[in-house]
Amino acid sequence: MQTEIKQVSGDFSVSAQITEADVHELASLGVKSLICNRPDGEAADQPNVSEIESAAAQAGMALAYLPVVSGNFSGADIADFLAALQRLPTPTHAYCRTGTRSITLWSLAQLRQGKQPQELLATAGKLGYDLSSALGTAATATAHKRPAGADHYDILIVGAGAAGISVASSLLGRVRDLNIAIIDPAEVHYYQPGWTLVGAGIFKQCDTVKTTASLIPDGVHWIKAAVGGFDPEHNRVTLEDSRPVYYERLIVAPGIKLNWHGVEGLVETLGHNGVTSNYRYDLAPYTWKLVQNLRSGRAVFTQPPMPIKCAGAPQKALYLSADHWQRSGVLGNIDIAFFNAGEVLFGVKEYVPALNEYIKRYGANINFGHRLVKIDGDNRRAWFEKNTDNGEKTLVETEFDMIHVCPPQCAPDFVRESALADEAGWVDVDQNTLRHKTFANIWGLGDAMNAPNAKTAAAARMQAPIVANNVLEDMSLVTGVAHYNGYGSC
């Protein structure tokens, strides 16, 4: 095509005025949407936007008409441009007379999402656009936001769990010379999927723990502290001791919060009176002790409302325990009950028939729509809130000799109370790119973000290279935006 296309990012490009013929060439290059920033009638030989829109429609492309006068960018113009970028299918191509208005609007929109002015100036400069006048004031203001000598990293990762450490390794596996830090207060790192097998006498407890220091990749700075809050407007994370840590790009992977206090009486009786959970390192051996010692009586297993990490773990505890009782010849003496807050045995319907066969084999009784709300360990009683057919709720009481509890779960408090969270409290990301929907220099992965996949280590393993690639693509160190396919496994 005659008009030169200038690639600004992986999914956005700009150019001078395009023609109808250019539209079809752009479509052949994979462009899905157009943004016109040039008012009709600026020049006698200028195609009207209606002509471009007609050609775009024939090519199956969307078009947004957002005309602006050169050198006059209002807050509404920037907001409209940002909304169009978020709404339109990508890749997107914007144009005006020379491309300057389009790349300026894009840069100002990125500035609102947390990008650094200096970085935007450099990106535009490489393409032949001088935006120092438009972005100069913002660049000066940003320079004053970070105190001299403050901790500052090119990439800051919150969380040294499976997700955080995996994405750090994936980043360094692609580009060695990166200034990266991980924030996490934990001295030790747990292989949590192994706790289910500790509770079945298969793994040893000590096999599921390593020091955090031994797992953080060489070249990554470890900030051994807890996060107090996020300030994405100023590219800053505040630690619990009020220390600020600044970043160019932030990856949020702090995991999920186990809300033990979400069940009345649970905290007071955990580890005693037959009350256990494989969701805690110190309690998994107690699960195995209870399973070995139970020769008759009632064994209860619970599952809270979704989302939870490892949605199969509550059932795994049941199946492994029942298998031991069967092999020990006592299964017929034990009344097994599974209380599930949900309405189906498992969220992936293809697996349900096979799981039902195990339920039948072990003679377990399934109770759907039952949410554990209270435990009295001393008297070995548990209460469940049950959904009735008319929409009301009622309490159901049951006794137990042992009860395996999966606690209710939610995002960490410092995530739920931040500007990064959606209405449910999870880090609000695009489920394909895992980039934050509001702040362009923030990504999320692992259990704390809101993509609709299962919250498992297997999912984090698949997400880590996606985030690593997309962060590096944003830094112009690799080409091409990667998409997460939703994979998870439990």
Note whether residue 200 is domain-resident: yes
Task: Kindly indicate the confidence band of residue 144, based on its pLDDT and cuts at 50, 70 and 90.
Answer: very low
Q: Between these two residues, 402 and 148, which has the higher pLDDT value?
A: 402
Q: State which of 90, 110, 143 marks the end of a domain.
A: 143
Could you give the CA distance from residue 165 to residue 182 in angstroms, rounded to a whole number? Answer: 8
- Does residue 404 contact residue 278 with C-beta atoms inside 8 Å? yes
Q: State which of 366, 385, 409 marks the end of a domain.
A: 409
Closest to 245 (Cα-Cα) out of 160, 169, 179, 186: 179
Indicate if 155 and 236 belong to the same structural domain. Answer: yes
Indicate if 252 and 267 belong to the same structural domain. Answer: no
- Does residue 279 contact residue 313 with C-beta atoms inside 8 Å? yes
Indicate if 201 and 139 belong to the same structural domain. Answer: no
Task: Kindly indicate the confidence band of residue 84, based on its pLDDT and cuts at 50, 70 and 90.
Answer: very high
Interval 260-289: pLDDT, tens: 999 999 999 999 999 999 999 999 999 999
Indicate if 405 and 264 belong to the same structural domain. Answer: yes
Q: Between these two residues, 179 and 79, which has the higher pLDDT value?
A: 179
Indicate if 286 and 372 belong to the same structural domain. Answer: yes
Indicate if 248 and 274 belong to the same structural domain. Answer: no
pLDDT at 116: 82
Residues known to be catalytic:
310, 490
Indicate if 82 and 181 belong to the same structural domain. Answer: no
Q: State which of 115, 143, 171 marks the end of a domain.
A: 143
Indicate if 25 and 73 belong to the same structural domain. Answer: yes
Place of tokens 């630690």: 239
- Does residue 442 contact residue 252 with C-beta atoms inside 8 Å? yes
pLDDT at 1: 66
Q: Does the structure show a pLDDT above 70 at 142?
A: no
Note whether residue 305 is domain-resident: yes
- Tokens read off for 328: 């020990």
| pTM score | 0.72
Q: Does the structure show a pLDDT above 70 at 138?
A: no
Q: What range defines the domain where residue 131 resides?
A: 6-143
Note whether residue 228 is domain-resident: yes
Average pLDDT of the chain is 92
Task: Kindly indicate the confidence band of residue 241, based on its pLDDT and cuts at 50, 70 and 90.
Answer: confident
Residue 233 identity (one-letter amino acid): E
Q: Does the structure show a pLDDT above 50 at 41?
A: yes
pLDDT at 315: 96
Interval 406-424: pLDDT, tens: 999 999 999 999 999 999 9
User: Among 134-148, 304-318, 459-473, which stretch is predicted with the lowest mean pLDDT?
Assistant: 134-148
Indicate if 170 and 102 belong to the same structural domain. Answer: no
Indicate if 393 and 295 belong to the same structural domain. Answer: yes
Between the alpha carbon of residue 56 and those of residues 23, 65, 356, the distances in Å are 6, 12, 52
Domain count, the chain: 3
Task: Kindly indicate the confidence band of residue 215, based on its pLDDT and cuts at 50, 70 and 90.
Answer: very high
pLDDT at 136: 65
What percentage of the chain carries pLDDT values higher than 70? Answer: 97
- Does residue 102 contact residue 66 with C-beta atoms inside 8 Å? no
Between the alpha carbon of residue 63 and those of residues 32, 48, 88, the distances in Å are 9, 13, 8
Interval 436-478: pLDDT, tens: 999 999 999 999 999 998 899 999 999 999 999 999 999 889 9
CATH code of the domain containing 447: 3.50.50.60
CA atoms within 13 A on the CB side of 431: 10
Could you give the CA distance from residue 46 to residue 42 in angstroms, rounded to a whole number? Answer: 7
User: Among 37-51, 210-224, 282-296, 341-355, which stretch is predicted with the lowest mean pLDDT?
Assistant: 37-51
Q: Which residues pair with 239 in a beta bridge?
A: 227
Indicate if 66 and 87 belong to the same structural domain. Answer: yes
Note whether residue 486 is domain-resident: no
Interval 149-178: pLDDT, tens: 788 999 999 999 999 999 999 999 999 999
Question: By CB neighbour count within 10 A (0-12 exposed, 13-18 middle, 19+ buried), where does 396 fall?
Answer: middle
Indicate if 268 and 252 belong to the same structural domain. Answer: no
Number of neighbours of residue 435 by Cβ within 10 angstroms: 21
